[in-house]
Amino acid sequence: MFSEQAAPTAQGLLAPPSAEPPTFPRVPVSGYSDCSQPFQLGERSFSRQYAHIYAVRLAGMRPGLERRARSRWGSDIALRKLSELQAGEKCCVVGTLFKAMQLQPSILQEISEEHNLVPQPPLPKYIQPSDELILEDELQRIKLEGAIDVQRLVTGTILAVYGAEQDDGRFLVEDHCFADLPPPLPWNGPSSDRFVLLASGLGLGSVSGEALLSTQLLVDVVTGQLGAEGEQSCAAHITRVILAGNLLSQNTQSRDTINKAKYLTKKTQAASVEAVKMLDEILLQLCISVPVDVMPGEFDPTNYTLPQQPLHRCMLPLASAYATLRLVTNPYQANLDGVRFLGTSGQNISDIFKYSSMDDYLEILEWTLLAGHISPTAPDTLGCYPFYKSDPFILTECPHVYFCGNAPHFQSKLLQGKEGQRVLLVTVPDFSATQTACLVNLRDLTCQPITFSGFGADSED
């Protein structure tokens, strides 16, 4: 998208100095509103049990699912609760899915020292052929079998199954359905080209510095220092930069200092301190020129449980002096110029990846949208705050752009829904590994990856 407009003046700067070069004003943000209030936690109390969140989730999604079930299998089907089931009767049940996995890391196994068990090492995937699906509702649970893909589904999904109860107490499933795409939001997109840059996984503080030049190039392109005039004027159309998590690298997470004796670690700082300082400088360069939204990620200094609260302002003293810096929650939802963005830093998708046979991040992303829930595996395998009033991860409105950060590659897809929803699904790649960020064009909901590279000793670009 840059290139077409920029091509004419591409070689313009291969010339002797000209007169006063043009400066382009940044396209102003016309409509921005932050919609991530449900993800912001006020006072947090962990004294509640997690069962409430499932109850709330089921209660919240039940009406929608019942509607979907009726529209799919006929409006006269019987909707039953598990306690009302009669053997052999075809009916539809709405409930929460639970997948019993043998390999699932369990805290109880770790504690059982008398068995002398070595704690299970983290595996990329925990699925096994012997996993079983169980449907639970408010009062009972029942094993599922039949036309349902055990490997693919994960715990915590709310779905409706259609079938009959067998004599042996299992439920034979003939068909199942999810909540499907939520109702669409009106489209108020801009009429001219506006871009939003999505990047994630900057990975500062890592030992290797290869990505640093690429990061600097990214900042330069966005702030308009790099590129010929055509490209700079295109870069002026970038209205926002969203950094989706993992600003610090995994290396900053080392907690060896806790194990060492105090006198050895007195003078050492946590690696994250240096990394945050670097982050501050980079953010300052960006903030002077463009509004930035910073989402925390898995390795960032904020709470571990979802929804992650924004990074604290005092960690970024230089950059937070500017009003263009916004520290936001993970997941993050906002209206940019009439386009609704919703996204996470990738923890939910990677968690589903571990417990499901789905391998493609984009596929998982689409599936969460169809299932109507951002992160069904929370709180089972992903840390989550014990909500009890309502589950903020339920998708009630269909966003226009749905993204997840820290994916292994860049992928994007425009999904069309039955009720006229148009969603752009984007998996934002990990910048420290791929040096790629994404540019989303708000006008027509297209996305383009943008790669940066320097040159190494043996690279033959």
Q: Identify residues 283-302 at the interface with another protein (CB under 8 A).
A: 284-285, 287-291
Min dist CB 284 to another protein, Å, is 6
The structure tokens listed for 137 are 């509702």
Pick the binder of another protein from 25, 119, 122, 186 (CB under 8 A): 25
Q: How far apart are CA 375 and CA 380, in angstroms?
A: 10
Beta bridge partners of 343: 332, 403
H or E segment at 90? strand 90-100
Min dist CB 274 to another protein, Å, is 14
Binding residues among 92-111 for another protein as defined by CB under 8 A: none
Min dist CB 278 to another protein, Å, is 9
Angstrom CA distances, 257 to 252, 260, 298, stand at: 12, 5, 20
Residue closest to 356 by CA, chosen among 133, 31, 112, 32: 133
Residue closest to 187 by CA, chosen among 447, 448, 425, 422: 422
Interaction mask 200-239, another protein, x per CB under 8 A: ---------x--xx--xx--xx-xxxxxxxxxxxxxx---
Residue 332 amino acid letter: Y
Q: How far apart are CA 91 and CA 71, in angstroms?
A: 14
Identify which of residues 386 and 449 has a Cβ nearer to another protein in the complex: 449
Report whether 235 contacts 227 (CB < 8 A): yes
Question: Crossing angle of helices 210-223/271-287, nearest 10°?
Answer: 20
Interaction of residue 72 with another protein, rule CB under 8 A: no
At 304, phi and psi to the nearest 5?
Answer: -85, -35
Identify which of residues 305 and 448 has a Cβ nearer to another protein in the complex: 448
Q: How far apart are CA 248 and CA 254, in angstroms?
A: 12
Min dist CB 308 to another protein, Å, is 24
Binding residues among 399-458 for another protein as defined by CB under 8 A: 409, 412, 436, 439, 448-457
Interaction of residue 157 with another protein, rule CB under 8 A: no
Identify which of residues 21 and 63 has a Cβ nearer to another protein in the complex: 21
Binding residues among 306-325 for another protein as defined by CB under 8 A: 318, 320-324
Min dist CB 422 to another protein, Å, is 19
Helix (H, G, I), strand (E, B) or coil at 205: coil
Angstrom CA distances, 53 to 50, 142, 155, 386, 396, stand at: 6, 20, 13, 6, 16
Using CB under 8 A as the binding criterion, the count of chain residues that bind another protein stands at: 76
Identify which of residues 324 and 406 has a Cβ nearer to another protein in the complex: 324
Identify which of residues 315 and 450 has a Cβ nearer to another protein in the complex: 450
Helix (H, G, I), strand (E, B) or coil at 93: strand
Which span (16-24, 57-65, 98-106, 263-271) binds another protein, by CB under 8 A? Answer: 16-24
Min dist CB 438 to another protein, Å, is 10
Pick the binder of another protein from 14, 107, 139, 261 (CB under 8 A): 14
Identify which of residues 24 and 187 has a Cβ nearer to another protein in the complex: 24
Beta bridge partners of 414: 424
Interaction of residue 359 with another protein, rule CB under 8 A: no
